[in-house]
Chain A
Amino acid sequence: MASPSARGQRRTAALLLTPFFGLFAAVTLAPLLYAAWLSLFTTRTSGLGFGGTENVFTGLGNYARALSDEAFRDGFLVIAAYCAIYIPVMIGGSLVLALLLDSGLAKARSFFQLALFLPHAVPGLIAALIWVYLYTPGLSPVIDLLESGGIGINFLSVDNAVFSAANIAVWEWTGYNMVIFYAALQAVPRETLDAAKVDGAGAVRTALSIKVPMIGPAIALAVLFTVIGSIQLFTEPKVIYNASSAIGSSWTPNMYVQTAAFQNNDFGLAAAASLLIALFAAVLSFAVTRISRRGSKS
């Protein structure tokens, strides 16, 4: 027999959890299941195309089609290239900035924190718009500046598309991660740092061999969130794509999904590709969590 207080707790828990889980079921679980169901079917035009269309069960056919489609796989290669530039620059940059702030040598620390964080207050689409203007010849003072220095760069060309997209993300996220790293650095016990100083370790040495390892978990988590974010790359290339048709409409996996759904009306394929992206992100985050946990234990 449950005591009245235990029963009260259970009833209240049900009351407090129902709104969240009800909506969670409606906007997360149900769409995933429905998409999984739809991904098993494909539309086939019957006869000569006069008889309309019919839905045919294909099993995992849409998944096979997505995975064997070069355009879809290339999307992941683009993401890999993007991560190869974006993650080292952004995470490295925010780490260096946080260490500089933490070095005790910086003046006007709260001003710098704020100024570096500010881009994060700008919605992604507006950030992409601002930068695409700065990439557009004839509008951009940056291009004028570079040209007066004898450097001609076409930011909107296909070769530079990865760089141009990554730069927008670096601009948006460096300050954000810097604030996280700086807060973690502030929590490093001062005695540890004093001990290093007594041992004669210089500022750089202390930073690299004591401070950075001690905030390792925060860095691993930042990398994880950054990778999950990168897989979803959509807004920036969508805006750049508008200004330059060079990169094509299936440049990233999410763009591939959008094209499949709304240009080709191939909803089975779009659903399958969406689920593959979600699965890929989930597996990746699981792996990163495992690795970083093992790393922090040893």
Chain B
Amino acid sequence: MLLSKAGVTAMLGLATLYTLLPLTWLLLSSTKSREDLFGTNGFALGGETHLAANLSHLFAADGGVYVRWLINTVLYAGVGALLASVFGVAAGYAFDKLTFPGKERLFSLVLLGVMVPGTAMAIPLYLLAAKAGLVNTFWGVFIPGLVFPFGVYLARVFSASYVPDEVLEAARMDGASEFRTFCRIAFPMIAPGFVTIFLFQFTQIWNSFFLPLVMLSDQDLYPVNLGLYVWYSSALTQGHPEDYLLAVVGSLVAVAPLIAVFLMLQRFWKSGMTAGAVK
């Protein structure tokens, strides 16, 4: 009975309610005044639409610090992931296509890097950064984002499937240098894989919370994540109920572009997830 068309669709629909209702709550709550946030049902509209007021309040709060957090996040996650992907694709291509001594031993080092859990690195990174004078600086959060071992692994897989050996042979016959061949011929062929690797590392840096939490104390250096956490905490512990709403609206503004990017770049996501699962 359950396995009728209607039954299957109903079960999927139920699961969809679970995934979408919290996001609906976020959207609706962002349009409410503070009174309505506490006074009306979370899955219903408030008395009046307060979205514009909430947004201007968000961007003006604490001297406009939210915009700073957004810019920081773009730098940490956007620029960081971009560089990490370039380095990752270069290394992955070298592992796939070039012959050099000690290759597999070096690659097992990469795999070791994949296995070390990211948050277990936070305190070691903090201790080293303290020694190097990088605690509470932009670089303390930015530099760790430049390394993405799983990206090297993915790049090796992508290079093996996107770049045919014959093409390289032909380029070598023509006398093109290896480096030129990589830049002009191989890199464009790996480009879709590059986008995938970028997306993975971008989300990873966007998601990181432990590292910026221990590394940064200057509000002006925070990524959005940490800023929202601080607002939420102060709403809770220091009796600033208006910060509740700030954290809600701030979450919506941070999430909306991410969801848009995900929807646009769906296919790159899938190729990375399945490439990781096949091996």
Contacts and interface: CB of A to CB of B under 8 A. Distances in A.
Contacts of B177: 8, 12
Contact of A100 (B12, B38, B43, B209): B12
A283 B87 CA distance: 28
Contacts of B25: 130, 133-134, 141
Contacts of B236: 242-243
Nearest to B236: A242
Most chain B beta-carbon neighbours within 10 Å: one of A23, A174, A282:
A23
Interface residues of B, number: 98
Given A115-B16, A232-B120, A277-B120, A8 B209 contact: no
A114 B266 CA distance: 9
B247 interface: yes
Interface in A175-198: 175-176, 179-180, 183-184
Contact of A204 (B3, B15, B37, B106): B3
Contacts of A10: 98-101
B214 interface: yes
Contacts of A204: 3
Interface stretch (A27-35, A52-60, A62-70): A27-35
B222 to A, nearest CB: 12
A31 B228 contact: no
A34 B125 CA distance: 9
A23 B179 contact: no
A112 B143 CA distance: 38
Most buried by A among B4, B106, B209: B209
Contact of A9 (B90, B98, B120, B233): B98
Contacts of A234: 119, 209-210
- Interface size on A, as a range, is 35 or more
A262 to B, nearest CB: 7
A123 B254 contact: yes
B251 A126 contact: yes
A11 B88 CA distance: 18
A77 interface: no
B146 A23 contact: yes
A12 to B, nearest CB: 4
A164 interface: no
A285 B115 contact: yes
B133 interface: no
Interface majority SS on B: helix, strand, loop or mixed?
A: helix
A231 interface: yes
Interface string A96-137: 010011010111100010111111111111110111111000
A138 B149 CA distance: 45
B152 A20 contact: yes
Interface stretch (B46-54, B58-66, B190-198, B269-277): B269-277
A203 interface: yes
Interface of B: 3-5, 7-9, 11-12, 15-16, 18-20, 22-23, 25-26, 29, 37-38, 41-43, 86-88, 90-91, 93-94, 98-101, 106, 109-110, 112-113, 115-128, 131, 143-144, 146-147, 149, 152, 172, 177-179, 182, 203, 206-207, 209-210, 213-214, 225, 228-229, 232-233, 236-237, 244, 247-248, 251, 254-255, 258-259, 261-263, 266, 269-270, 273-274, 276-278
Q: What 5 A-B pairs come out closest when comparing CB atoms?
A: A141-B42, A35-B124, A31-B124, A12-B178, A278-B120
Interface of A: 5-6, 8-17, 19-21, 23-24, 26-28, 30-32, 34-35, 38, 93, 97, 100-101, 103, 105-108, 112, 114-127, 129-134, 138-142, 144, 171, 174-176, 179-180, 183-184, 203-204, 217-218, 221-222, 228-229, 231-232, 234-235, 238-239, 242-243, 254, 257-258, 261-262, 267, 270-271, 274-275, 277-278, 281-282, 285-286
26 contacts: A9-B178, A13-B94, A17-B90, A19-B87, A19-B91, A20-B91, A24-B113, A30-B128, A34-B128, A34-B131, A100-B8, A106-B5, A124-B209, A130-B23, A139-B37, A142-B42, A175-B19, A229-B117, A242-B237, A254-B122, A257-B122, A261-B126, A274-B124, A275-B120, A278-B116, A281-B115
